[in-house]
Amino acid sequence: MPTVSIDQIKIGLNRRPVKDEKVAELMESIRANGLLNPITIDQNLNLVAGLHRLTACKLLHLKEIECNIVTYTDADQARLAEIDENLIRNELEPLDRSQLWLEREQILERLGLRAKAGDNQHTKKGSENISPPPKTTMELAKEVGYSERTFQLGKQIAKDILPEVKEIIKNTPLAKSTTDLLKIARAGSRERALAEQAEQALEQALTQGEQQEAERQAQLVAQARAKQKELQIEAYKSAIAHKEAKALKKQVQAKVEQPIKKSTVAGHELGIKVGEEWIVGRHLVYCGDTSGKEFMKLLPSHAALAIATLSSSWNHNYLVDEAQVVAVLRSEGNIYEFCRQNQMPFQYELVLDKVYTSIFSHQSISKPQTPINVEGVEGIISYLLSLYTNPNNFVISPFMGHGEILIACERMGRSCFIGDENPELVTRGILRWQNWTGKQAQKAG
């Protein structure tokens, strides 16, 4: 078996990233047994198959590596062999696998080996039979080991999700979920169709030398693609929020909290009094009127989200000036009357597990397009945090409830500024946080 200097092997830019755990496993195997399966390169020393093996050998500081050398007449044939190797040897996530299916089909089209609609094995070119005959969708699906429907759905994922959105999805749980990927691919379908129509008109205008029309169509393409990207990112965030909500619910159900003593409920053990501030890890808890100046002056600038529940004495319109997004949870009722009275800029309404959640903001916010299926208060809070915030963002809540927002912020790495005028609820929330984290809250000042 020929050997080649590792430094001479060229790695293409379109290769998938290596997986650290697989490289580590191969390093142990190569140390113990040597390289059992040589890598494959072409006649120009371009890597065709074996990136993980090559990476492992590099990390072991080997100078040469055994290779199978194959000869290809052009780059398409080399890339096709590389794709087939990856599809056969690697356990691929749906996002990566779909991308390879699409690229493989595109290469076969360029090589004249992909059947068009209406073609079959008896299709002729002139007076000669095509050899080998062009491959149908069913045959391509069979070659990669999947049903025709799964193959078609995979190509939809690869074609319709914008490249920049794919980059966001990579290395997240969604890359493994065909269902979630399809939802993202279908988000902004109207905008995608408009963009494709404008792209065709742009190409025609350029061909005919109509510069002004070409510029107009180029602008339409940019606008449609920008809106498609916005809707796909919203679908991505919504899907991530679903998973976070489910994960939090499971954690809450699995974690058995210590019972709270009756004397503690009344605040005797912590001694919480109205007007006090408590430092609770990365969070701040205030006991007192959360519509008053004392609470307001504690709030951070530019909070990402405020979450509140609708009360009979609502005096919290100020929240929309303190946070980018305000989510108000309430039971079924007349949202329009509430909006008219509080004068916060209404964006849209979500129904989360039969709880009506009104979204307010000075900014225009796109409503999630995918169906929302979360359960329980913890699931709702987690969904909102995932949808409207990022780790280390500030979150405001003027109501303690049972501490759901405080616990969710702790679990998801957000900093919570929360308060309530009821010392008993403040005590319950802090004690729940202590039981959850095993840490102690400290009175400020």
Q: Report which secondary-structure segment, H or E, holds 384.
A: helix 376-388
pLDDT tens, per residue, the chain with 445 residues:
788 899 888 887 656 667 778 888 889 989 888 888 888 888 888 887 788 889 999 999 999 999 988 776 677 877 887 788 778 766 788 998 999 999 888 888 887 778 775 555 444 444 444 445 678 888 888 888 889 999 999 999 999 999 999 999 988 889 999 999 999 999 999 999 999 999 999 999 998 999 999 999 999 999 999 999 999 998 898 888 888 777 766 665 555 444 544 434 444 467 889 999 999 999 999 999 999 999 999 999 889 999 998 877 788 999 999 999 999 988 765 555 666 666 788 898 888 878 888 899 999 888 887 777 777 788 889 889 988 998 899 999 999 999 999 999 998 899 999 999 999 999 999 999 998 888 999 998 6
Q: Which CATH class is domain 3-123+132-164?
A: alpha beta
Structure tokens at 121: 């094995």
Cis check: omega of the bond before 371, within 30 degrees of 0: no
Strands (E), 189-292: 277-280, 283-287
Instruction: Output the pLDDT for position 198.
Output: 94
**Amino acid residing at 169:** I
**Amino acid residing at 350:** L
Residues sharing a CB contact under 8 Å with residue 255, sequence separation 6 or more, in sequence order: 436
Instruction: Output the pLDDT for position 123.
Output: 47
H-helix segments, 255-305? 262-265, 293-296
**Amino acid residing at 207:** T
Domain 273-443 grouped into CATH 3.40.50.11900? no
Residues sharing a CB contact under 8 Å with residue 329, sequence separation 6 or more, in sequence order: 307, 308, 309, 310, 355, 356, 357, 380
Any idea where the domains of the chain sit in the sequence?
Answer: 3-123+132-164, 165-254, 273-443
Instruction: Output the pLDDT for position 15.
Output: 61
**Amino acid residing at 388:** Y
Neighbours of 76 (CB within 10 A): 14
Best CA proximity match to 180, nearest among 193, 168, 192 = 168
Instruction: Output the pLDDT for position 422.
Output: 93
Same CATH fold, 273-443 and 3-123+132-164? no
**Amino acid residing at 19:** K
Instruction: Output the pLDDT for position 266.
Output: 40
DSSP letters for 174-192? GGG-HHHHHHHHHTTHHHH
For residue 326, CA distances in Å to 46, 106, 197, 410 come to: 54, 46, 38, 19
CA distance 322 to 305: 9
CA distance 433 to 282: 11
Q: Tell me which residue has tokens 């169906």.
A: 371
Instruction: Output the pLDDT for position 337.
Output: 64
